[in-house]
Amino acid sequence: MSGPAKETKPRDARLLHLLLTSLNVPQYEEQIPQQLLTFAHNYVASTLQDSLVFQEHRAATTMDTSDVKLAVAAKMSHAFRGAPPKEFLLELAGERNRRALPPVSAGYGLRLPPEKYCLTAVNWDLLAESDADLPAASQAALMGANGTDGAAAAAATNGDVTMQDVQAENQKLL
């Protein structure tokens, strides 16, 4: 094959390409011509079927251009409608916007139980103290001296309550 590759697109697809190019649409997806051809085929087929109905109604033996024109006019009465006029839409929008929105009730939004039952309060953490501010015993405890947990030892030396103490109190209450 020394010559250029032969065009494999159907003639109608090539014509649609030329039509789209003449309408300043140089780029489009590959399936666009196929969709347009399918639409045109369906439109022509249904228009010709309607023309046959009009021909039978006239009791004629052949289809006439008047049958096709009548079928096209019948289709145009309910298909391919344009957008409503801008004035009509503005009037409709003005009428709709004249009605005020309902007021926002005092109890709008998500209904939550009282604050004491919610976990929405501000979270707090103990501020980390710098090593220079801590006594020597606390520094040793934080470093994990004597193989103990550093935080637990620091809490014990400072007289603070540990988590184990809190859990023990909870067990007593239960």
Please report, for the domain that includes residue 31, its CATH number.
Answer: 1.10.20.10
> Torsions phi, psi of 70, nearest 5?
-65, -40
Domain annotation covers residue 91: no
Helices in the chain by DSSP H: which ranges?
11-22, 32-58, 65-78, 86-98, 136-142, 150-158, 163-173
Residue 35 sits in which domain range?
11-80
Domain annotation covers residue 148: yes
Domain annotation covers residue 44: yes
Closest CA to 126 of 157, 153, 151: 151
Domain annotation covers residue 66: yes
User: In the structure encoding, which two tokens stand for residue 170, read together?
Assistant: 């909870």
**Residue 76 sits in the same domain as residue 136:** no
Domain annotation covers residue 121: no
Task: Give the number of other Cβ atoms within 10 Å of residue 64's Cβ.
Answer: 13
pTM of whole model > 0.75? no
Closest CA to 46 of 11, 75, 25: 75
The whole-angstrom separation of Cα 2 and Cα 24 is: 34
Number of domains within the chain:
2
Domain annotation covers residue 88: no
The whole-angstrom separation of Cα 130 and Cα 128 is: 6
pLDDT tens by residue, the chain, 174 residues: 444 455 688 888 889 999 999 999 989 998 898 999 999 999 999 999 999 999 999 898 999 999 999 999 988 878 777 888 999 999 999 999 999 988 877 777 777 788 788 777 666 665 555 555 555 555 555 555 444 454 555 555 555 667 777 777 777 776
Domain annotation covers residue 169: yes
CA 140 to chain centre: 57
Domain annotation covers residue 15: yes
